[in-house]
Amino acid sequence: MIRVLFVCLGNICRSPMAEAIFRSRIEEEGLEGKIEVDSAGVGHWHIGSPPHQGTRDILEKKRIAATGMTARQIEAADWEEFHYIIAMDDKNISDLHTIRMKEGVVVQKLMDYVPAPVQQEVPDPYFTGDFEETYELVREGCEHLLESIKRNQAM
């Protein structure tokens, strides 16, 4: 079982959006028994909160389920549980490196999977207010990440 963890600042906007989109794609591809997905934040501010209303709205508009999701903070033990820890921006990557690093765990930005990306980072809609832009970037990143995992794992 391949396990993927999406990480952003507070786990209420970008990473739960990525988790929901990626889960939807896993189901569409029939890979439920082969790939699992979760999300977390580097900060503790929103632990136990549902995704931001803007995230829920855009996912509902796109007919992607986000029910039952609650924010949590990443912890060192996640490096034992996940094969891929996928961050939304350079600051998340920096924060992840201060928490823990472990050989064999892929730690990269989501946009690193996109050939010739329009942006190198996924902007935080909590601050920009542009959930549509974030959705499009996350969707594209998730598509390429899934293709990479399928290729690397011969799925």
Compute, in degrees rounded to 10, the torsion defined by CA atoms 124, 126, 127, 128.
70
Residue 20: the pLDDT is 98
Residue 22: the pLDDT is 98
In whole angstroms, what is the distance from residue 63 CA to residue 93 CA? 30
Active site positions, annotated: 8, 14, 124
Model pLDDT for residues 33-76, shown as the tens digit of each residue: 999 999 999 999 999 999 999 999 999 999 999 999 999 999 99
Residue 101: the pLDDT is 78
Spans in the chain with pLDDT lower than 50: none
Taking CA atoms, 21 is separated from 15, 31, 65, 140, in Å, by 10, 14, 8, 10
Taking CA atoms, 60 is separated from 20, 54, 55, 155, in Å, by 11, 10, 8, 29
- 78: domain range? 2-152
Residue 154: the pLDDT is 83
Task: Write phi, then psi, for 8 (nearest 5 degrees).
Answer: -140, -165
Q: Which two tokens stand for residue 147?
A: 């293709």
Residue 112: the pLDDT is 97
Q: Which amino acid is at 27?
A: E
CATH number for position 124:
3.40.50.2300
pTM: 0.97
State the total domains in the chain: 1
User: Measured at the alpha carbon of residue 106, what is the angle toward residues 122 and 76, in degrees to the nearest 5?
Assistant: 90
